[in-house]
Amino acid sequence: MSATTHDSHGHPRLAHHFFEMEQQHECAKLGMWLFLLTEILFFGGLFCFYFIWRIMDPELFVGASEMLNWKLGGLNTIVLIFSSFTVAMAIRSIQQNKRNACAIYLAITIACAFVFLVVKYFEYSAKIGHGTLPGTSFHDLHFLAEHPEVKNPHIFFSIYFCMTGLHGFHVICGIVYIAWLLYLTLKNRFDSEYYAPIEMGGLYWHLVDLIWIYLFPLLYLI
């Protein structure tokens, strides 16, 4: 057990209650994975909502998903996938002590997140303009006239707004966190021994991407 000795007590970022950097890093990673687990189950409730109505009333989804612009959704998918790639590259860079490269990749990630939000903003405002709102505020009469076979279309848009809204909230949180990481990277706080916060940010950002990978086909395409 290497843990009995204190010889690795050198790194300035080692908290007092850990024996060594590796233990600290492993703790952070496991903690982050447990957090991701809670996120999966958190979104899981919404996926449950989706699948139940999808299976009980498929026509609703086929009809209503036509209202969403799959081109914008697809663009956002590509943007998020690319940002997932850059954040992975950021971790790879800091593992090799390349701080500048890491900072650049983090900056690109943030930029992608902003692009995502801007596209989302245009989508939302179009929906709001048409009255395609969730729940009882739904009053898109054109949709109703064109799709008499769809019953309760507001439920589809409830699902759409709940899922993308919660996802968008996670994107915003991700921007804040990654911006903070970028700041710390520029202040030379990270190195190949201590980069657990960047790795945690990466895991979080990949999860945001993962959820969108499912949301895109489920909401926009089918």
Contacts of 206 (CB under 8 A, 6+ apart): 84, 87, 88
106, 185 Cβ separation under 8 angstroms: yes
Site for other proteins in 157-176 (CB under 8 A): 158, 162
- Give the single-character DSSP code of 149: T
Q: Which of 182, 143, 163, 190 is nearest to 49 (CA)?
A: 163
**82 is an interface residue for other proteins by CB under 8 A:** yes
Where does this chain touch other proteins (CB under 8 A) — which range of 20-28, 109-117, 118-126, 182-190? Answer: 20-28
Site for other proteins in 179-198 (CB under 8 A): 192
Please say which residue, 33 or 183, places its beta carbon nearer to other proteins. Answer: 33
**125 is an interface residue for other proteins by CB under 8 A:** no
Where does this chain touch other proteins (CB under 8 A) — which range of 52-60, 112-120, 121-129, 174-182? Answer: 52-60
Sign of CA dihedral 199, 200, 201, 203: positive
Helix and strand numbers (H, E) in the chain are 7, 0
Please say which residue, 36 or 179, places its beta carbon nearer to other proteins. Answer: 36
Find the binder of other proteins among 85, 114, 177, 194 (CB under 8 A). 85
**141 is an interface residue for other proteins by CB under 8 A:** yes
Tokens representing 49 are 């909502």
Number of shown-chain residues binding other proteins (CB under 8 A): 83
